[in-house]
Amino acid sequence: MSVPTQAEALSLISSRIPTQRNCTIETVNNCSSHILLNPKVYMISGYNLSPLAPTVGSSERDISTFTKTYGKARGAVGVFTYELFNPSKKHTEIMAVMFSVPFDYNLYSNWFAVGIFDNCKICDKTLYDEMYNSTERKFVRGEADGSSITYKGNDVTIMASMSNSGSAVMKVEVCDS
C-alpha cells in the first residue's frame, strides 16, 4: 500500500467526514519572518471538528476541518484568524480566512476570502459578514472553482484556493512579500 500524497491525504480526510458539507483547510507558513499564533474561530454554522494548531512556525503546515452540524439543514460556514507574529517588530497583524460551504447549492455556492487586518480586529460575525459581503479592501474574495486568490500585504502575502464541492478542500499559503 502506497503512502498518499499531501493532496490525496486532504481529499481523503474531507471525504471521511460523516456529513455532506465540510471544509478541510491546509495552512502552510512559508514565511521566514513570521509565525502564525493564537488562532481564533467563529462559525456561522457548523463546528470546528479538528482544531487549528496553536502555532504554525516557519516551513510548517497545519490541517484543520470544519463541518456542518449533523441533522441540520445548514452548511460549514465561518472565519478564522491567526496573529502574524514577527519577533523583530512590536506591531502584530492578523490574517483572516473566510470559508462558506453552504447546505443548498440551488441558492448558494462555495466562497472563500483571505486578508490581513490590524491586530484589534475580532474574529466574530462582523468579520465574517465583512469578508463575505463587503467591498474588498483589506482582503480578497473568490467563488470556489479551484482557482487561486492572492492578497498582498506590506510584509506578508496570502494565497488560497478552494474546491467547489460539498466536501471542500481549501489550501492557504502564507509567504513573505
Mind listing the domains of the chain with CATH numbers?
6-176 (2.60.270.20)
Q: How confident is the model at residue 172 (pLDDT cuts 50, 70, 90)?
A: very high
pLDDT tens figures, 108-131? 899 999 999 999 999 999 999 999
Q: What angle do CA 159, 14, 67 make, to 5 degrees?
A: 90
Closest to 25 measured CA to CA, from 51, 58, 5, 4: 51
Q: What's the pLDDT at 32?
A: 94
Residues 95/43, Cβ–Cβ less than 8 Å: no
**Alpha helix ranges (H) inside 19-71:** none
pLDDT tens figures, 76-111? 999 999 999 998 887 689 999 999 999 887 888 999
d(CA 5, CA 104): 31
Least confident of 10-14, 112-116, 160-164, 173-177: 10-14
Residues 131/156, Cβ–Cβ less than 8 Å: no
Q: What's the pLDDT at 1?
A: 55
